[in-house]
A = this chain, B = another copy of it.
Amino acid sequence: MAIPAFSTLHQHLQAEHEGLRERTQSRELLVQGRFLKVVRDQVMLPNGKLSSREFVQHPGAVVIVPLLDDGRLLLERQYRHPVERVMIEFPAGKLDDGEPGLRCAQRELLEETGCVAREWAFAGTMHNCIGYSDEHIDIWFARGLDYHQQQLEEGELLDLVVATPQDMLQSMREGLLTDAKTITCMLWLQQLLDGSWQPDWQKDVQT
């Protein structure tokens, strides 16, 4: 049997979403940990039936793609306890309460790598865990880097790593680079390098 005709992405983007939407009836706190908050919502499905959804409430985060003047990228390697391995990733961090994304990006880049950037450009937002978290991650590109001094938090331990885009792609194919936010940033980087994404660079203003 042949594949039937499905709607295209453009038709989708103009389409009515009401037939898919769920409506929250009530919310309960499942757990408030030291770091993680988990809630359970009762929702009404489009067909009128009730179901429940459990997810992590997250303040949101930023990830930074630090471009060195020679075309290489600045990355971190850091032990990540949940996956029990040292991961290669772009610098990233959680938004403080009410903190604008760019300020968070400036702060995290300085704290974790010791760098200040002369220019910043916003790429887009990703959602990394839509099944059970409301987390969004804003993607910022930084260039014109100047090195000051890392300001790691107590117990925060990470190494800085430098790599070419080709090196990173090769490492991804070899299964050595598996962090989805970092790989998502790499697709944005490719769009920058091939000219299909033209970022709106803005001068750094310490906010």
Contacts and interface: CB of A to CB of B under 8 A. Distances in A.
A7 B86 contact: no
A124 B49 CA distance: 38
Interface residues of A, number: 102
B9 A75 contact: yes
Nearest to A148: B1
Number of copies: 2
B68 A3 contact: yes
Which of A9, A36, A55, A159 has most chain B Cβ within 10 Å?
A9
Contacts of A128: 128-129, 180-181
A13 B9 CA distance: 39
A161 to B, nearest CB: 5
Contacts of A38: 31, 33, 36, 38
A20 B179 contact: no
Nearest to A146: B1
22 contacts: A6-B162, A8-B162, A9-B163, A19-B157, A31-B38, A35-B54, A36-B38, A49-B155, A55-B81, A55-B82, A80-B130, A82-B132, A82-B134, A89-B130, A124-B175, A125-B175, A126-B183, A127-B178, A128-B129, A128-B180, A172-B188, A184-B184
